[in-house]
Structure 1
């Protein structure tokens, strides 16, 4: 089979196209037409990746506010919401696609579920930023702890070598070599520009509506589709809610079997919303009840202070 020339062999074209994407008015853009055009102009996407070792602990937080003081009762309530409940785009999801989002530590997980709220017009705003000062707040939530059953591979939405596990150069370069012909140096230039573009989209702080997630959601959807066919667990990206200091993982439903539930804590949290206090901590997490599972996957809660 004759190899075809990949779009990345033309860095100037890639640069012009990315500038066009940056200039788009996304609010008036059809997502499906947009992604079709991106596919045509960027071709097969390059990815860099990392390996998360077996036994790594991951944390997922869920608010308890809708339970009116009660605690979750089943493991299913702590995993992935049903697809029909997902009606909007998110940083790492498209509508009707439930994703298991978790973090590398409990503090990042807590910030992720408390950092955003809806304003009076229904738009997402970052608490404190919209009012030009800090607004510390509290929240009751459940933070579940999970453990990886095996080494897991994740594609990244960044490529700056900050992650402590380390990065590989390009997990799908061999597929590129089989299907395309390209100059290695021109490919590297184009790849760096595309990665920088999508990294900036994942790290976008000003969110005026779900349309501001179009590019990151598109990137995520490609990863999840690839995870159906190769040994890939999902996506890792930096936490905007934790000022890019923490890491989030997005794992599609069919890869959730790679995680083992450990326990869950019902917590009182205090979020200083970016302001350093309490020994230079931005968020405090104080568990009061801890749950394990019974044979029917029900959560059995016990007071962590030993009260009866």
Structure 2
């Protein structure tokens, strides 16, 4: 199955629809509950809900996910029965296949119950399709155009040439894949004065994003947080809270990160941990929020929720 370990969980919803042709007489039988095998609509509803719960067992590449809500609706046409299914979850992957499977199973159930009553040439399942989905990358953007980012790595050992940088390069690569132009990448020792000088130099160029990588731990030379905080005009604690929560679900050590984030003018500054895994997880957790924040700050349009 596809690796989704770095995808953030969001509220996701999918709606699918389809129809089964029954002919006018078949529709009347279902509507009047005169089918030999029982109540068609309620039986098909149960079949659809059961199918939602078993989708991962039927489709090899579907991930098992918690189904938080599943609902099937039916509507009569002159010669057909319309079926609609909506499924919701909070997960790292969507529920499109669950909704489609629900409609398919419900339609098959109707077919099975109606085949003694409707001629084969009339009985037909058709037009099963996804009609709507929300959540995930379709709703929360993870790409940005025309935005610049600078990446500053803080590490005594990397700056001294004793080991290669992997965390900072992974962040730069991830930002590039998200549409950022990497305006700068540099490695500094864990010296607060040097970091302060370079941050002020970058802020003078007003990039949309500055990411520091390293120096957020509890070591005696981990002073990134102390250096960055005085430069922030508006702290955004929710960003790093989200990153720590995301990391905490993957390693208990994420709780030890002291990373902060905020605005320095119109530039967003985020302090990432120095390990490659920690940096990658932090970027994965923050990217949707960063993309949205930078779009709002840069364009200055009113936010749908009311803030500007």
Tell me the TM-score range normalised by the shorter chain.
under 0.3
Q: TM-score, normalised by structure 2?
A: 0.21
Write 1 or 2 for the structure with the bigger share of helix.
2
Q: What TM-score, normalized by structure 1, do the two folds share? A: 0.21
- Higher Rg: 2
* Bigger relative contact order (CA 8 A; separation at least 6): 1
